[in-house]
Structure formats: structure tokens, C-alpha cells
Amino acid sequence: MSALDLEGTVARDDFGGPVLMLRTAGGQTWQLEGDVPPSLIGRRVRVRGAEAEAQFGFAMVGPVIAVQRIEALD
């Protein structure tokens, strides 16, 4: 599966379980899966990852990206 590089702001919400999201400047929302430090919530980040195999779930906020690396931009 090809790697994805994305930039945006990390947000957290709860839809029957906590959901971490990346909101891009273009208005798209991605669901972040994997190790995302809580300190990055609300901050602009760059994410490298790949589309997760399990794309379906109850979060339904957008495509699921399995995070391989995440770093703050601000």
C-alpha cells in the first residue's frame, strides 16, 4: 500500500469511543489510527502513513490512515 503524506490539525472527538482526526486545510477529515501522542491534539502536524485495511467502523469521520510517523509543525 502506497505511503501517504498529509498535513493538518489534529482533533479529538468521541463517537462511542475516542476518535483522533486530522483535518486538512482543504477541509478533508482523516481518522488517525495508531500511536498519536495526546500532546499533539489541537496542533498542526505532518503525518506519514498508509490507508488502513480496516476502513469501516463506527467513527465514520473519513478515510482511516495508519500512522507511521507524526510530527508537529508549530
Residues that bind other proteins (CB under 8 A): 13-17, 19, 27, 29, 33, 52-64
Residues 6+ apart with CB under 8 A from 18: 12
DSSP state of 63: -
Q: How far is the CB of 12 from other proteins (least distance, A)?
A: 12
**Beta carbon nearer to other proteins, 5 or 14:** 14
Q: How far is the CB of 17 from other proteins (least distance, A)?
A: 6
Q: How far is the CB of 56 from other proteins (least distance, A)?
A: 4
Alpha carbons 51 and 19: distance in angstroms, whole number: 16
**Beta carbon nearer to other proteins, 26 or 38:** 26
Cα angle 18, 19, 24 (rounded to 5 degrees) comes to: 155
